[in-house]
Amino acid sequence: MTIVQALILGIIEGITEFLPISSTGHLILTSKLLGVADSDFTKSFEIAIQFGAILSVVVLFKNFYKNKDNWKKVFTAFIPTAIIGFLLYRIIKEFLLSNALIVVWSLFLGGIALIVFELWYKRIPFGSAQGETAIAVSDISYKKSFLTGVFQSLAIIPGVSRSGATIIGGLFMGISRQAIVEFSFLLAVPTMAAATGYDLFKSAGSFFPPLGGTPPEAVAFNPFLLLAVGFFTSFFVAMLSIKWLLYFIKNHTFIFFGVYRIIAALIFWLIIK
């Protein structure tokens, strides 16, 4: 991996992390298009730079974290993903994250699901799906927080989209569009912090060869320099992406993203087949 490749991947991550189009899926497919070698470092890089994007949430939503009740709800939602991610870590890292075909299918089917859901959702009164409404993050119950985490855990499949799964789940439970989008932002912090920390703990040793050995072919530069480039790039780009999404949802549904996912899946399929 080169500095330029790390920079491009950081930009892609920052743009896609909080949109319901799957940042992981885009990183995997973009890496293949750029010719980045598939290695333990590449997979860890794709996880670590997501944390850079997540830190932008801490900066932009610092007032949310002053409320202890918000923290408790976020932690409650984090539990399902933490358990499933820990139990399936090896399968995710060794099989799912290297399978471009799974990503393409997830993008395609997820796009259809997003469009169908939005068409159904706009035909019912707000909140009637569960007989209760939640206008703001503070209105979300602990039960709905936990169930939102269950929906998020579906995103262990690359291409599903963590934000897309949580947003659809939240809308179905009667949470307002603004509230579930903001809650999805907050939930991303512990989720990606845990994923990055655990993965680096398990894999950092493989980034360097034994003393006197030859550096891995996949790492053309200092691996921590590459991580830093991707990390900070995704951080600054994600701040712009978050502000844009909050503006977008005031007057638009997510149908646009569903159409985009289908088109992207078809294009990627033609390229990789």
Q: Which two tokens stand for residue 223?
A: 């691996």
Rounded Cα gap, residues 168 and 246, in angstroms: 16
Contact call for residues 197 and 172 (beta carbons, < 8 A): no
For residues 151 and 28, the model is more confident at: 151
Gap between the terminal Cα atoms of the chain: 23
User: Apex CA 65: angle with CA 62 and CA 71, to 5°?
Assistant: 155
Q: Which two tokens stand for residue 19?
A: 């949109």
| pLDDT-wise least confident of 103-112, 148-157, 221-230, 251-260 | 221-230
Rounded Cα gap, residues 180 and 144, in angstroms: 11
Instruction: Report the predicted TM-score, pTM, of the whole model to 2 decimal places.
Output: 0.77
Contact call for residues 12 and 4 (beta carbons, < 8 A): no
Contact call for residues 27 and 270 (beta carbons, < 8 A): no
For all residues of the chain together, what is the average pLDDT? 81
Rounded Cα gap, residues 204 and 192, in angstroms: 17
Grouping H, G, I as helix, E, B as strand and the rest as coil, residue 210 is coil
Per-residue pLDDT of 161-211, as tens digits, reads 888 899 889 888 888 888 888 898 888 888 877 877 777 676 655 555 544
Grouping H, G, I as helix, E, B as strand and the rest as coil, residue 134 is strand
pLDDT category of residue 61 using cuts at 50, 70 and 90: confident
Enumerate the β-bridge partners of residue 134.
Answer: 175
Contact call for residues 104 and 265 (beta carbons, < 8 A): yes
Q: Which two tokens stand for residue 54?
A: 């997540």
Residue linked to tokens 């707000």 = 126
For the chain, give the number of residues: 273
Rounded Cα gap, residues 211 and 217, in angstroms: 16
Q: Which two tokens stand for residue 264?
A: 């992207």
Compute and round to an integer the Cα radius of gyration of the chain: 18
Per-residue pLDDT of 80-116, as tens digits, reads 988 887 787 677 766 666 677 888 888 999 999 999 9
Residue range 108-127: average pLDDT?
A: 79
Residue linked to tokens 């750029």 = 34
